[in-house]
Structure 1
Amino acid sequence: MALDKSTFETLVPSRFVTFAFPDPSPPSASGDRHRHRHRHRHRRLLQVAVLDSPVQPSAAPPRVAAMLVPCHRERDWIFSTEPGHLQLLLGTPGLSRLVLIGEDPVDGRGRGLGFRRRTECDRSRRDGREESLRRLVLALSPRICFESGVPEVTFLSYEDDLVASVVLEVCIGEFVGEMLVEDVEIERGGGCGEREFRRRLRFKRMPNLVQTQVRIVPREDRGETEGGFGIEDMQFRIDAGVLVHPYLAPMAASLSLIGFHIDERIQKGLRPKAFCAGVGGGALLAFLRGRLGFEVLGVDVDEMVLRVAKQYFGLEDGDFLRVVVGDAIEWIERLASWKTQGTLGAVYSRDLSVADGIDGKFDVIMVDLDSSDVSTGLVAPPLEFVRKPVLLAARSLLCEFGILVINVIPPDRLFYETMINKVRDVFHDLYEIDVGNGENFVLIATVASVGDCSESDVSFIMKLNSVLSGAYMDSIRKI
């Protein structure tokens, strides 16, 4: 069905329209030569998507921008789903409409979610393709943009560190929806030419977000030279000894605030104890147990996520590490009720031995939960967690020198400041680590004053320094 030419003359919040369009670009001198010979029989198509922002900025005239889909990534959820487009739009503040243009996967280009980057395709042809598509973008711009003449056409670029990927499994979780596990090759900083590999978990509802990732190491020394084996031909093992996900190392570094306290526990022959609200791939839980000697209880709402963590990310549910299926916030409230009143639903009774322990308390509660409402962008933690009854319950589960550690992705400064004030009402002191990626903060709340945490000769802090970057511990600041 043909589109009405007036469809795009006005902005309609959250409207999402996709259509195929003949490619106006001339064929390249190499890769498209054979297509040129058959142009009269089959003209290459483009897939065009137009998304209007759900909240239109007040600025006039409105801002419109276009983005070319990187070659060979047309089927990636980032570029092939409405949630992916929305994340791209929300990543550019003040944008009213985003026009995404890529080759039609049905037109012989896409073969699946996995891909291998061809740098010459993305870079050498980009300028020419933008010029050939300028008129199309103008035709898709609202009429108000032309009130002062022909507007400038802005092309945004999408660049990340991905070199190649291969999908291991696509599955559906009851709560998180469709998700995929993939092995990826990424660019290694410094131009040293070495290959670096990760295993990643992504959710389709937030396709531009890597939910969790771990470092993987080839089992055989293959594919290290040009012309060797590609990532799809390689076998890997999990390297659980390092935290590569951006905010996990800062979350672990927060333990330096109570290094003296943890040291005392260990000297008494006791394992420090952690409650992890949200498991994901389980990298943080495995690190706490394997590298730092913690006893760990993890709770995740989606049973399929836990299955994936065990099958693909090396999470082992056994000695000193237990994971259970459930709502982590509800678990905190139920455990607090049991600690104070001795009441707990029967469904939790089989896990009480894990929840009990050192004075019946945890040394740390680590919260890695996010909101599932894609229309507002990613928000962590969910609003349900920062309710006062939940914060009071969390505090009651912590020992005298315990800490609450929260991964925070605020949608705006007001959200963050409001959250800080709510946590401050319940806890003694607050500390912060700026992860440095422009998205995450790690908020640390203490039950009591922790005093000077700078003593580097404490055994536990020395251990932290040996397995983490000391820069994260140095960047902890009181707020």
Structure 2
Amino acid sequence: MSRDPIFETLRPSQFITFTIPNPVNHHCYLHTPNIRVAVLDSPVAVSADDLPKIAAMIVPDQRETDWNFCTESGHLQLLFNVPTLSRLILIGNDLPPDPESSIYIRPPVTDTIDSEKLEDKLQQLVMALHPKVCFQKGLPKTLFLTYEDDLLYRVIIARFVGPFVGEFVVEDVELESNVSNKKLRRRLRFKRMPNLIQSQVSLIPGFGDGEFASELNLESLRKMKHTKFHVDTTVLVHPYLTPMVSGLSLIASHLNERIQLGFTPRALCLGVGGGALLTFLNTQMGFQVVGVEADEAVLSAANQYFGLNYEESIQLIVGDAIDVIQNFPSQRTNGDTDDSHVNIDGLDAKFDVIMVDLDSSEAGNGISAPPPEFVKKNVFNSAKLLLHNHGVFIMNVVPLDEVFYMTLIQELKDAFHKVYGIDVGNQDNFVLVATLLPSSSNDHDNAFLKRLRSVIQGAYMDSIVEL
């Protein structure tokens, strides 16, 4: 294949797709008459002193129309998964868009040697898509990436378009599991950032009369006429939600005292998604909850498919999280000690906890949380005014980089008394907890702490460290 001048230079965020006759006609991977090639350059320019890193990926069979691989936003997230990657080339079957296509079944594993032979046959194509600078020190070595996840089966059960988040889907999935029971989930996924699972809850199949069928796979269950699926909102399966709830242990004595005095603890959740966190705080921990979500269509999906019920104990606000907390009804200063309920438009002006689960709406930033515009002194100061004196501020964090993370910690330290970190157990997420006053002793006779330990893993509470 001859070199095209348009690919000879790296141009930040350049995205080009084209189709060519299939040069390999592989029986498993590339089997359509034409193949689709998509080339994306990183938005981050490479240093003049460094040779750019170029990689190619063969799109997994039957995933060609998945947003992860057929959209620029999905392509960008794949690129960001590899540090310092300058250009990512996707090569896949050229399939026409099929809006009715809603089911994915993982195909059998292909022989590793067979995959290597296919990569050898694609060498010439990939080499022609390398920028000219890569040949300064001889012929570059082609880097092929493989895509792996735990998805065995997926069916899209609903599609939505929201005025703020755009297109999104609700999907039921079966994931790989090391236990006998099948790992079934209901998930919420946005097209603007398809590699990020916005929300997920456990999915329970049943036949009525209390009979469940956990040993059958999702594909078989869906073919059975009388199978009904229910979401389990009593457990948290999203990786960072349990650590977030664990942060309540720092104010367990305060919450226990308020409950003994007859007050119902209150939580403000910035970011709702499927509503798993809101429902859990309400039903398992006894909180009154106010949720803030930017898109009403997301709330509709949460209500229809994720068990989020709009009741007096769960109130919802549609709006931008920053605008809401900066304009929230408040008649008391942070120094007030009067705990009598002040109610404006049905909303109490003080909370025991504020939980922040907001991700950046800009795919060009990669997967990151919270949005950069949230990391401001005035935002944190506004949040402080909504907390009781012994309240706590808890945030899910997926940092853009080390500088972003350290800046966020410093901003929280400037605004709050103490800042703590919780080990989530993966390299992507961190949970930060900020307190207004020193945390009090959490004795073992504390009824709230006992309740907390009964519904979440105690290991997360034991991993809380001061930063």
Would you say same fold, with TM above 0.5? yes
Displacement after TM superposition at 1:244 (Å): 0.5
* 1:308-457 matches, cutoff 5 A: 308-335=301-328, 337-340=330-333, 352=344, 354-356=346-348, 360-453=349-442, 455-457=443-445
Match of 1:24 in 2: 23
Query: Matches of residues 456-471 of structure 1 in structure 2 within 5 Å?
Result: 456-471=444-459
Q: Of residues 279, 293, 304 in structure 1, which corresponds to 2:297?
A: 304
Deviation at 1:401, TM superposition (A): 0.8
How far apart, in 2, do the equivalents of 1:331 and 1:26 lie? 55
Q: What's the CA shift for 1:151?
A: 1.3
Letter in 1 for 2:190: F
Q: In structure 2, list runs of 5 or more residues that go unmatched.
A: 335-342
Counterpart of 1:472 (choices 453, 460, 463) is 460
Q: How does 1:196-207 map to 2 (within 5 A)?
A: 196-207=183-194
Distance (Å, rounded) in 1 between the aligned partners of 2:382 and 2:435: 14
Give the total of aligned pairs.
453
Alignment TM-score, normalising by the size of structure 2: 0.90
Give the Å deviation of 1:117: 0.2
8 Å Cα contact 1:180/1:203 also seen in 2: yes
Q: Distance in 1 between matches of 2:115 and 2:69?
A: 17
Mapped to 1, the partners of 2:8 and 2:216 lie a distance apart of: 52
Kept in 2, the 8 Å contact 1:336–1:393? The answer is no
Instruction: Find out whether 1:208 has 2:207 as its counterpart.
Output: no
* Larger helix share, 1 or 2: 1
Query: Secondary structure of 2:194's match?
Result: coil
Shift of 1:160: 0.9
Deviation at 1:436, TM superposition (A): 2.3
SS at match of 1:57: coil
Q: Relative to 1, partners in 2 of residues 1:110 and 1:314: Cα closer, same or farther, differing over 3 Å?
A: closer
**Partners of 2:153 and 2:219 within 8 A in 1:** no
Deviates most, 267-276 or 237-246: 267-276
Cα distance in 2, alignment partners of residues 227 and 198 from structure 1: 10
Q: What 5-or-longer segments of structure 1 have no aligned partner?
A: 36-42, 342-350
| Corresponding residue number in structure 1 for 2:339 | none
Identify the residue that residue 94 of structure 1 maps to in structure 2. Answer: 84
The answer to whether the 8 Å contact 2:184/2:218 transfers is no
> Equivalent of 1:229, from 220, 239, 243?
220
> For residues 36-61 of structure 1, what are the alpha-carbon distances to aligned partners after superposition, in whole Å with 9 as ceiling and x for unaligned?
xxxxxxx6221110111111222522
Q: Deviations over 1:40-86 (max 9, x none)?
A: xxx62211101111112225221100111111111110100001101
Shift of 1:112: 2.2
Instruction: Determine whether 1:7 maps to 2:6.
Output: yes
What SS does the aligned partner of 2:415 have? coil
Aligned to 2:65: 75
Deviation at 1:32, TM superposition (A): 9.4
Structure 2 SS opposite 1:219: strand
How has the CA–CA distance of structure 1 residues 77 and 150 changed in structure 2, closer, same or farther, with 3 Å as cutoff? same
Q: Does the CA-based 8 Å contact 2:234-2:280 persist in structure 1? A: yes
Letter of the aligned partner of 2:203 in structure 1?
I
Q: 1:434 to 1:462 in 2, by over 3 A?
A: same
Equivalence for 2:241: 248
The amino acid across from 1:175 in the alignment is F
Q: Distance in 2 between matches of 1:408 and 1:228?
A: 35
Tell me the distance in 1 between the aligned counterparts of 2:198 and 2:453.
Answer: 26
Given that 2:173 and 2:218 are in contact with CA atoms closer than 8 Å, whether structure 1 keeps it comes out as: no
SS of 1:323's equivalent?
strand
* 2:259 is equivalent to residue 266 of structure 1: yes
- What is the 5 A alignment of 1:124-163? 125-163=114-152
Q: Is the 8 A contact 2:155 2:171 kept in 1?
A: yes
Following TM superposition, by how much is the alpha carbon of 1:375 offset from its aligned partner in structure 2, in angstroms?
A: 1.2
Match of 1:275 in 2: 268
Q: CA RMSD of the aligned region, Å?
A: 2.6
1:433 and 1:475 in contact (8 A); partners too: yes
Give the letter for the 1:96 counterpart: S
Cα drift, residue 124 of structure 1:
7.0
Matched residue type, 1:229: S
1:306-344 per-position Cα deviation (integer Å, ceiling 9, x unaligned): 111101110001031111212222221122654459xxx
Which one of the candidate residues 159, 165, 181 is aligned to 1:170?
Answer: 159
Per the alignment, residue 63 of structure 1 pairs with: 53
* Cα deviation 1:87-134 (Å, max 9, x = unaligned): 111111111110011111239x99724301013248674223222212
The answer to whether the 8 A contact 1:223-1:229 is kept is no
Higher mean C-alpha deviation, range 118-127 or range 401-410 = 118-127
Which SS does the other structure have where 2:411 is aligned?
Answer: helix
Contact 1:72 1:110 in 2 (8 A): no
**1:210-267 deviation line (CA, Å, top 9, x unaligned):** 1111111112345845797155765310100110111111111100111111111222
Is 1:84 the equivalent of 2:71? no
Aligned-residue identity in percent:
48
Structure 1 CA distance for aligned equivalents of residues 110 and 190 of structure 2: 28
Structure-2 separation of matches of 1:370 and 1:433: 19
What SS is found at the alignment partner of 1:444? strand
Looking at structure 1, the residues matched to 35 and 144 of structure 2 have their Cα atoms a distance apart, in angstroms, of 16
**Deviations, residues 281-307 of structure 1 (Å, cap 9, x unaligned):** 100000000000111111112111111
* CA-to-aligned-CA distance 1:133-181 (integer Å, 9 cap, x gap): 1221111111221222211111111111111100111211111111111
**Is the 1:364–1:398 contact (alpha carbons within 8 Å) kept by the matching residues of 2?**
yes
Which moved further from structure 2: 277-286 or 384-393? 384-393
State the secondary structure of the residue aligned to 1:449: coil
* 1:214 counterpart letter in structure 2: V
Distance 1:126 1:414, change over 3 A: same
Q: Name the TM-score, length of structure 1 as normaliser.
A: 0.88
